[in-house]
Amino acid sequence: MRSSKSRSRNKNRNNRPSGGNIINRVFDSSGPDGKVRGTPQQIIEKYNQLHRDAVLSGDRVDAENFAQHAEHYTRMLAEAQREVEAKREEQEEQNRQRQAERDRERQERLKAQEAAAGDPAIMDQPDVAADAGESGLVETPEEKPRKPRRPRKPRNVPDEGNAPEAAE
């Protein structure tokens, strides 16, 4: 009997990719002339070329078959592009809504600041930005100059004659 761990590892046993970007996904198309592999755009181009070749050789059945294969992948690609475009538009709408919300919040903050400007508790505080001039810099107090340091005393360096001999 198998353990539950081995069964839960491969829940998706069919070899079909789930979702994903169809526009860039590689397909294996089993057409009448063998397998055609590539992205939908590449497969469409290949089947269109096979269609032209069949028309030039006079084989109407193969020409129609290749044209139908090309049309199938054209429809798949068009649907995928519509989905991508819809997602992009949805994302743009969400971004516009977020920006509008930020703009509303900013306006509310500005109104609250303007209303608070008449408040005497806030009037007692100096407006640092207004005093700083047009540069936007805030003035900071100068530091007191430090006293110069005294020079260090020289080290007691032993004379070479009096130095103990190093063990070799």
The pLDDT of residue 132 is 47
Asked if 51 and 33 touch (Cβ cutoff 8 Å), the reply is: no
Percent residues over pLDDT 70 in the chain: 70
* Cα–Cα dist 151/148, whole Å: 9
CB contact at 8 A, 70 and 51:
yes
81 Cβ contact list (under 8 Å, min separation 6): 23
Of 84-93, 117-126, 154-163, the one with minimum mean pLDDT is 117-126
> Which of the two residues, 98 and 147, has the higher pLDDT score?
98
What's 125's DSSP letter? S
What are 24-47's pLDDT values in tens digits?
A: 788 877 777 778 888 899 999 999
Q: What is the pTM of this model?
A: 0.48
How far, in Å, are 7, 17, 78, 134 from residue 86 at the CA level?
A: 37, 22, 12, 47
Residue 159 has pLDDT above 90, yes or no: no
Domain ranges of the chain: 22-117
Helix-helix angle 40-57:60-117, to 10 degrees: 150
